[in-house]
Structure 1
């Protein structure tokens, strides 16, 4: 079931062209999708911002997630838009730093079973393992013309509000209820392509 969690994360990465765990608070209404970033100003609740150099070719333009906090198991509604000024090709490296709030402290979580603060040396290879080349991309990527394999061509990509089912992922005890921050950097050949920071709350049942 942990592979299901990784699969969802990578599919969303494919959808928005950036490595971002997309999580989020318990009202059923949707968050308003915004242009620019929703600043990471407080602990608790979903927020995001671009954190790369202004010259980074890949920029997250909007992202909304509901419910907030995210509930596992449960359903997740995500919408996103990304602009990529450069084709993203293999090897596409993704580095995640995941922190959890413990009182007033933020503790960096280790990489265990491909969860936590992990480095993925080639996301393209992982996507090929999850979705064999030559097979049809899964919904909703297929409907909205979003590729699920490298290379990702330069251009604008948009995922309208779409629902995903989050099964019981059997998350480890150190990655359950609480407030989290994630910094995700995607690069190719040492060149940073994009960087995103996320803040979210997680609630497991």
Structure 2
């Protein structure tokens, strides 16, 4: 019986490493951009490789831009989140215009459902481990959307 429990615990730990999640981190009154779906392929990410991020986003009102985008990337180190600094455009960086960062975006960004595909190079210099990221979208200093992604794994 103990061996069955042990196998279940190990299987649960392995399964947890295979999943990632996303949620909104903005209040309902400020949401103009909302992430409904996220696909990371492949996941877990391997290095070196090119990883595709597919974001299914709803846009409440036409956005004429620019949409400032702030990424806060954290790596789990001994069960504690440590902020990864922005180095050469990778890490906890701020981009003055989302459409410069995401090449599948252009202005005016129409209201409705949008699909953004973003490739990302994962180089050998990216440390293995589990990551989380918060992405904040602002226009003229006003928060128009925020999303948190957790349990993103690099092997």
- Please list every run of 5 or more consecutive structure 2 residues that lacks an aligned counterpart in the other structure: 1-15
The answer to whether the 8 Å contact 2:18/2:43 transfers is no
Match of 1:181 in 2: 132
Alignment of 1:51-62 (within 5 A): 51-55=25-29, 56-62=31-37
Larger radius of gyration: 2
Structure 1 residues 66 and 121: alpha-carbon distance in aligned structure 2, compared to 1, 3 A threshold: closer
Q: Deviations over 1:79-121 (max 9, x none)?
A: 4422111122222111111100111211111111111111112
1:115 aligns with 2:68: no
The answer to whether the 8 Å contact 1:46/1:69 transfers is no
- What's the C-alpha RMSD, in Å, of the aligned pairs? 2.8
What is the CA–CA distance in structure 1 between the aligned matches of 2:65 and 2:119, rounded to whole Å? 29
1:170 aligns with 2:123: yes
What is the CA–CA distance in structure 2 between the aligned matches of 1:118 and 1:166, rounded to whole Å? 15
Alignment of 1:122-141 (within 5 A): 122-124=97-99, 126=100
Match of 1:91 in 2: 66
SS of the residue 2:131 aligns to: strand
Deviation at 1:176, TM superposition (A): 2.1
Aligned with 1:155 (options 112, 115, 123): 112
Alignment of 1:44-83 (within 5 A): 45-55=19-29, 56-74=31-49, 76=51, 79-83=54-58
What is the CA–CA distance in structure 2 between the aligned matches of 1:118 and 1:158, rounded to whole Å? 22
- Please list every run of 5 or more consecutive structure 1 residues that lacks an aligned counterpart in the other structure: 1-41, 132-146
TM score, norm. by length of structure 1:
0.57
Match of 2:4 in 1: none
TM score, norm. by length of structure 2:
0.73
What is the CA–CA distance in structure 1 between the aligned matches of 2:57 and 2:108, rounded to whole Å? 15
- Count of residues paired in the alignment: 138
Deviation at 1:45, TM superposition (A): 3.3
What is the CA–CA distance in structure 1 between the aligned matches of 2:96 and 2:119, rounded to whole Å? 27
